[in-house]
Structure 1
């Protein structure tokens, strides 16, 4: 919880006080922070890819391009949806179609499954994105002197919480 200059507690900083009034107000703080962070991160991905020479992509398309470039191994549509926890396969399919139309990925088949792999142009776009990211984001973040081990710990907690949200969503669906 934050404090003002006089040591008085301010907060918690949440988007909905009625949700923070429950048994775990810190969860509401995390939810608000994740929401703001998600919008910032999506904006960043789109702008960074634009600066790398590929404007107009949606965040999901940027993520899929990086994923299919990862380790130079093609991925199936199902793997991509699982990897990014995408429930609506059409969202991923649309992103792949857009990437293919731009010549950044090539689609194929492995049995009955659709596969996607980065083309040379797609790999080059990912490399340019990496260069822009290093220059603008990483250099700036390094100046904050963040503890990289602590950041990895935060990522682990976020992954664990995503499992809690998924289970709660399954439960809510059955109500």
Structure 2
């Protein structure tokens, strides 16, 4: 800048002053620097998701090839859940009955015993197969013989049909099973806060789905 005689430095013209950044606290530049534009929020330097953004994981299935491009991909999620709960339920029945004092029973053995005790009236093999939805009658027949050998059920007759009735030992086993179930399972599920009405809705959906799977199985058998 030129000096003006014996005076000091000549002040900058007003047009130049507008281009100089203010020396206020918090300004990113130093005194005398011209301010530059900050990157917009949608620029590469400011990603919208942030460095910790997590991508979506998609549906939780065990057979993705059945879900992709299908009419109802969510059905594969239900099937995965059914696989998990069916195995878990089978393990639970066996372990619970063992804790109740009757070891070495299979899941079907436990189901047959419970249904024989149900309503405290005799059941035929056909009754058990119908209610438990077991197609192979010999499986239920074998379970009945095993329970008879253990003294948990006794045989009888209704016309030409053989019937099964729970013995006092069988009823006691089911009563102990109920105690273990209340202590370990029912109380834990209730603690989740799920409403009983919601559980009833889930049960109704599962029963309806079983009908669709049965009909689909009959259709597949005719192909």
TM-score (norm 1): 0.94
Residues in 1 aligned to 2:155 and 2:86: alpha-carbon distance in whole angstroms: 28
Q: Structure 1 residue 11: deviation in Å?
A: 2.6
> Counterpart of 1:149?
197
Residues in 1 aligned to 2:85 and 2:195: alpha-carbon distance in whole angstroms: 18
Q: Structure 1 residue 74: deviation in Å?
A: 1.1
Q: Structure 1 residue 147: deviation in Å?
A: 1.2
The alignment's C-alpha RMSD in Å is 1.2
Gap regions ≥5 residues in structure 1: none
> Counterpart of 2:66?
19
Larger Rg: 2
Deviations 1:129-154 (A, max 9, x none): 00000011111111111111011001
Residues in 1 aligned to 2:71 and 2:93: alpha-carbon distance in whole angstroms: 35
The one of the two structures with greater contact order (alpha-carbon pairs below 8 A, sep at least 6) is 1
Residues in 1 aligned to 2:161 and 2:196: alpha-carbon distance in whole angstroms: 38
Residues in 1 aligned to 2:145 and 2:161: alpha-carbon distance in whole angstroms: 15
Residues in 1 aligned to 2:205 and 2:126: alpha-carbon distance in whole angstroms: 25
Moved more, 19-28 or 157-166: 19-28
Residues in 2 aligned to 1:155 and 1:58: alpha-carbon distance in whole angstroms: 23
Matched, 1:168 2:212: no
Gap regions ≥5 residues in structure 2: 1-51
> Counterpart of 2:147?
99
- Flag the 1:86–1:12 CA change in 2: closer, same or farther, 3 A: same
Deviations 1:69-94 (A, max 9, x none): 11111111101100011000011111
What secondary structure does 2:157 align onto? strand
TM-score (norm 2): 0.74
Deviations 1:56-78 (A, max 9, x none): 10001101111111111111110
> Counterpart of 2:84?
36
Q: Structure 1 residue 7: deviation in Å?
A: 6.6
The 5 Å alignment of 1:67-78 reads 67-78=115-126
